[in-house]
């Protein structure tokens, strides 16, 4: 009896394993669209959170010291990029960006003698900005704007050195090299280095539009347009900076966090009821939506800066005494095709930015209300980070209003730009704390799948036993009809 019970147990276990395990066909023929989706999947791997743990899988054993060393290195790089964005904002607001008329890969030495300054100043005198806006500027005034543009460019080049030299050191050192390999960081580091180099080229491409008075994609600029960089290229430059910074910050968050803690938190969440887990997933989706809305608001702010739209309407909450400014309709026919109004019509550009800012403010407030309702279920630290996001979004909106009312002073303009980057950082930090919610789904479903598989296996075995019993019952009368053999 015991042997039969053990055999049946092994049969149930084997059949359950076959039901749960995905079927693998030896002669699998790839789908015709796999050639297109395979590169996309590989690209998605690069953006996968560092150190993320697949539910049910073993936590990769990585040297903790090497992991922290890599994390603090990339966190320091994030801070350096943050500072560069702030310096870039100051360079733009002081109208220093077009003072250098040449770009060299290795950089340019800061002029030190009067002759060197005179050569640089003579080149600037040929630019549209000098001829239309700064004619009569003294060489001492020129030195100030030239320094800030030079400092901004050299800061960018120093970032490349600060990234490449430690990266080479970490690859040469065995513990960190093994950590990079185990965490699959090589594609991520290569992407970050490429984004940094591309950002320098995009920066010169942006400056070139102000020197040549050009736009983008063959769009002609009005000859009477104020000499400035193209708003399209400025938005591209700022977007690249935010993407690079965001990827650096996200990677450092993954390296400085403990994957085992995330797994433990996911296991705790997996014990919640399906309804509670569903409400947490909805909250996580809302956070991602609010972060996307925040990113769109930041990009629209780049077009406000590129068009100097913040200087047009200095009142709030109305614009020129109206909720929808009359300037939208008045300037509409200037731009062909009409879609250009979204990016160049200064009245519409500022109106869009205000509406997106209000939407982001409402989203941040809504997240705080939802988090208060889910405070006992949220992963550790998520409630605190949600409060920070809501507070910074409100502060950013307040600074934005003050910047408009006081006609965009340099100090408030820089504070508003760095405030946007701060809000973006906190949104990423909040999303990072919600990773256990995604991991908890498979953990909660795994026991149910296993129980269902075992139950299905038991049913199949019971049916097979019934069939065997019927076959034996039918065979018994036939055996009775056969003549008995003599002993």
- DSSP collapsed to 3 states, 399-426: HHHHHHHCCCCHHHHHHHHHHHHHHHHH
**Which pLDDT value is given to residue 443?**
59
Residue with the larger pLDDT of the pair 476 and 271: 271
Rounded Cα–Cα distance for residues 440 and 33 (Å): 31
Does residue 319 sit in helix, strand or coil? strand
40 band by pLDDT with thresholds 50, 70 and 90: very low
Q: What angle do CA 210, 108, 90 make, to 5 degrees?
A: 50
- Residue 49 and residue 432 in contact, taking contact as beta carbons nearer than 8 Å: yes
Q: Per-residue pLDDT averaged across 447-464, rounded?
A: 47
Distance, CA of 73 to chain centre: 19
CA distances from 408 to 52, 93, 311 (A): 43, 9, 7
**Which pLDDT value is given to residue 24?**
41
pLDDT tens-digit readout, 57-108: 445 578 889 999 999 999 999 999 999 999 999 999 999 999 999 988 888 8
Share of the chain above pLDDT 90, in %: 65
Q: Per-residue pLDDT averaged across 213-231, rounded?
A: 78
444 band by pLDDT with thresholds 50, 70 and 90: low
Neighbours of 247 (CB within 10 A): 20
7 band by pLDDT with thresholds 50, 70 and 90: low
Average of per-residue pLDDT values in the chain: 83
Does residue 322 sit in helix, strand or coil? strand
User: Residue 55: which of 466, 462, 445 has the closest Cα?
Assistant: 445
pLDDT of 27 > 60? The answer is no
Its pTM stands at 0.80
Cis, peptide link before residue 317, omega less than 30° from 0: yes
Residue with the larger pLDDT of the pair 333 and 452: 333
- Residue 437 and residue 393 in contact, taking contact as beta carbons nearer than 8 Å: no
pLDDT of 461 > 80? The answer is no
Cis, peptide link before residue 337, omega less than 30° from 0: yes
- Residue 389 and residue 430 in contact, taking contact as beta carbons nearer than 8 Å: yes
Task: List residues bridging with 322 in a β-sheet.
Answer: 319
The region of weakest confidence among 187-201, 388-402, 461-475 is 461-475
142 band by pLDDT with thresholds 50, 70 and 90: very high
Q: The tokens 């049969």 sit on which residue?
A: 11
pLDDT of 213 > 90? The answer is no
- Residue 59 and residue 263 in contact, taking contact as beta carbons nearer than 8 Å: yes
14 band by pLDDT with thresholds 50, 70 and 90: low
Rounded Cα–Cα distance for residues 119 and 123 (Å): 7
pLDDT tens-digit readout, 254-291: 999 988 888 899 899 888 899 999 999 999 999 999 99
């Amino acid at each position: 009896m015991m042997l039969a019970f053990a055999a049946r147990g092994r049969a149930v276990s084997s059949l359950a394993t076959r039901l749960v395990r995905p079927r693998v066909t030896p002669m699998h023929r790839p789908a015709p669209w796999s050639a297109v989706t395979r590169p996309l999947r590989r690209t998605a791997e690069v953006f996968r959170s560092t150190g993320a743990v697949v539910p049910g899988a073993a936590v990769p054993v990585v040297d903790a010291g090497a992991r922290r060393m890599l994390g603090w290195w990339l966190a320091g790089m994030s801070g350096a990029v943050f500072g560069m964005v702030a310096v870039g904002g100051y360079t733009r607001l002081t109208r220093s960006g077009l003072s250098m008329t040449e770009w060299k890969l290795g950089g340019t030495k800061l002029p030190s003698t009067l002759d060197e300054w005179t050569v640089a100043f003579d080149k600037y005198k040929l630019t549209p900005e000098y001829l239309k806006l700064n004619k009569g500027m003294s060489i001492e005034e020129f030195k100030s704007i030239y320094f800030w543009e030079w400092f901004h460019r050299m800061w960018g080049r120093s970032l490349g050195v600060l990234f490449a030299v430690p990266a080479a050191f970490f690859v040469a050192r065995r513990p960190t090299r093994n950590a990079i390999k185990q965490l699959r960081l090589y594609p991520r580091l290569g992407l970050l280095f490429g984004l940094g180099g591309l950002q320098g080229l995009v920066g010169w491409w942006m400056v070139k539009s102000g020197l040549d008075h050009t736009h983008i994609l063959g769009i002609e600029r009005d000859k009477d347009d104020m000499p400035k960089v193209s708003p399209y290229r400025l938005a591209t430059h700022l977007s690249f900076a935010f993407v690079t910074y965001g990827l650096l910050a996200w990677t450092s968050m993954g390296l400085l966090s403990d994957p085992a803690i995330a797994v433990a938190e996911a296991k705790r969440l997996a014990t919640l009821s399906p309804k509670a887990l569903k409400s947490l997933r909805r909250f996580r989706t809302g956070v991602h939506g609010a972060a996307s809305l925040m990113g769109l608001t930041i990009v629209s702010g780049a077009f406000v800066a590129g068009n100097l739209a913040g200087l047009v309407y200095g009142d709030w909450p109305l614009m020129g005494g109206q909720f929808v400014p009359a300037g939208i309709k008045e300037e509409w026919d200037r731009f062909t095709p009409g879609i250009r109004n979204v990016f160049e019509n200064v009245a519409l550009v500022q109106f869009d930015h205000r509406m997106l800012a209000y939407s982001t403010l409402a989203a941040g407030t809504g997240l705080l209300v939802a988090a208060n309702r889910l405070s006992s279920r949220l992963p550790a630290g998520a409630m605190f980070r949600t409060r920070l996001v809501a507070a910074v979004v409100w502060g950013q909106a307040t600074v934005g209003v003050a910047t408009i009312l006081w006609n965009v002073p340099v100090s408030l303009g820089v504070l508003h730009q760095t405030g946007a980057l701060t809000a973006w950082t906190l949104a990423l930090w909040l999303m990072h704390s919600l990773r256990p919610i995604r991991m908890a789904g498979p953990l909660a479903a795994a026991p149910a799948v296993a129980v269902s598989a075992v139950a299905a296996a038991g049913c199949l075995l019971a049916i097979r036993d019934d069939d065997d019993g019927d076959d034996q019952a039918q065979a018994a009368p036939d055996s009775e009809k056969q003549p008995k053999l003599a002993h």
